[in-house]
Amino acid sequence: MSKRGDFEAVRKDIAKLMHQPEYDDGSAGPVLVRLAWHSAGTYDADTDTGGSNGAGMRYEAEGGDPANAGLQHARVFLEPVKEKHSWITYADLWTLGGIVAIKEMGGPEIPWKGGRTDYVDDSKLPPRGRLPDGAQGSDHLRFIFYRMGFTDQEIVALSGAHNLGRCHSDRSGFEGAWVNNPTRFSNQYFRLLLSLQWRKKRLPNGVEQYVHYDEDSEAELMMLPTDIALTQDKSFRTWVELYARDKDRFFEDFSKVFSKLIELGIVRDEDGKVTNADNERGGYHA
């Protein structure tokens, strides 16, 4: 048990659980990043519903959304950290887990502040269907991400997270990793999007994705239809090209936009204190 509000101690314990020899590519990192993103990516700016406040994925309505299949692994990885630092809210822990994982995998430092609540406000619950569907194209990407208040540039920067981790046919129906080293954060995803020939492949389960057979590693790399859409849309493509040639710019923009993502729906006063989290019922102010 650490002192209430000692987020440094929590960060250290999250960093320690990154190495998971029995899991996927030996790292808990990618799935922790996806947990942070899905906890926040339900936000709707118009109705001010969804977002990371409330940690709604603990409950069936949100946790059982097929879009969240597999994220229980990330929640289980973090559970010992919650047990040890019981003062931290799940909403803070899940977002902090993502940014610690990105840093541990060689990514940028991402600004993070605590203060999210675990109180579930029924009037703020997101309906299912708010997270993106990889089988779609650029119209869908804009529909989903404009709803959260992101621009085309931010959509492309966020998509660079697909440099990490992999698809699992028993979770999303898609299969494989985007890059050869999926536990090292870089701009490789953008470089491969532009430099390789991607051909459409129908998997045995009927799902269609794009693949490239890499001779060096003798591995098949993959892209989702939504990833390929970033190269086909003029406005998106400009940013893919920039991030493919300028890794520092990608790191800088990714840091800003991921930080914006995990703050969606959180209102703070000038001292950074959250003003729209119900503390009485399960929240904690740093």
Segment (H or E) for 33: helix 29-40
Rule CB under 6 A: is residue 137 a binding residue for ligand DDH?
Answer: no
Using the minimum distance from each CB to ligand DDH, give the nearer residue, 87 or 198. 198
Question: Alpha carbon 279 to chain centroid distance?
Answer: 26
In the numeric block, which tokens belong to residue 49?
A: 């519903």
Residue 187 in contact with ligand DDH, rule: CB under 6 A: no
If the CB atoms of residues 34 and 124 are measured against ligand DDH, the closer one turns out to be 34
Choose among 148, 141, 239: nearest CA to 190: 239
Q: Does 31 bind ligand DDH (CB under 6 A)?
A: yes
Q: How far apart are CA 141 and CA 218, in angstroms?
A: 32
Pick from 188, 283, 197, 203: nearest CA to 244: 188
Region from 33-41, 52-60, 76-84, 207-215 binding ligand DDH, contact rule CB under 6 A: 33-41
DSSP state at residue 172: T
Count interface residues toward ligand DDH (CB under 6 A).
24
Between 11 and 34, CB nearer to ligand DDH: 34
Q: Given the DSSP bridges, would you call strands 208-214 and 219-223 parallel, antiparallel or unpaired?
A: antiparallel
Judged by CB under 6 A, the residue of 55, 164, 211, 240 near ligand DDH is 164
Q: What angle do CA 46, 49, 52 make, to 5 degrees?
A: 125
Contact flag: residue 264 with ligand DDH (CB under 6 A): no
**Residue from the set 9, 20, 58, 132 that interacts with ligand DDH by CB under 6 A:** 132
285 is catalytic: no
Residues that bind ligand DDH (CB under 6 A): 30-31, 33-34, 37, 70, 132, 134, 141, 158-159, 161-162, 164-168, 171-172, 174, 224, 226, 258
